[in-house]
Amino acid sequence: MNKQVKFLDLGVRDYKESWDYQEELFKNTVALKFKKTREDASIETPNYLLFVEHPHVFTLGKSGDVSNLLTPASKLEEQGVSFYKINRGGDITYHGYGQIVGYPILDLDNFFTDIHKYLRFLEEMVILTLADYGLTATRSEGETGVWLDAGTPFARKICALGVRASRWVTMHGFAFNINTDLGYFDHIIPCGIKGKGVTSLKAELGREVPLPEVQEKLLKHFKELFEVEFV
């Protein structure tokens, strides 16, 4: 099993360009797994972790309800905001400046073949990172992602998750609000969950937080949870 993960910081990059890049890595890994099965069991499959910051975009998962987009896509386009229907799980979410979006493209055969555990590990990585800032975050029963004050009238989501997996290879991932302009969430019903808010690290701490600082903490916890070596 290959426990090495190639980490790539893509900086600010267009959503569609990043999606295409993910698809390329994902498809190459799946193809390599077929080759490994047919020809040579000793072939190692690669693992990747991409960090990226997207210009303003809304994405709707394959099981999502387009009615959760409250502003017509044509009007958003006039404001420079993109909209895509994509092939991950989950409903609608927003990506934008000041947000860390993480795309792990892992062959889970190198780790554990359990999607539920995989999602919980991604959540735990964010929960531990928030604890580094003195914030107590938790999961919300039946709702994927990371929350503050879950189970109370003040529940608010700080990190959304949505993934795709085929032959135990993953893509898509998480969106962690750091210095995010939360006003963009007014255009949607985030993740299709009514009556609950969204927040950011900046909103909770009352100050901006450097993205590289948060990235470093995320990588530390990812490394510990998945027991990987970054290359």
- Catalogue the active-site residues: 191
How far is residue 173's CA from residue 192's CA, in Å, rounded to a whole number? 17
d(C-alpha 37, C-alpha 225), whole Å = 28
Beta bridge partners of 48: 6, 105
Token pair, residue 151, equals: 């189970």
Classified as helix, coil or strand, 72 is coil
Strand partners for 169: 107, 166
Q: Under DSSP, is residue 42 helix (H, G, I), strand (E, B) or coil?
A: coil
Under 8 Å between Cβ of 226 and 111: yes
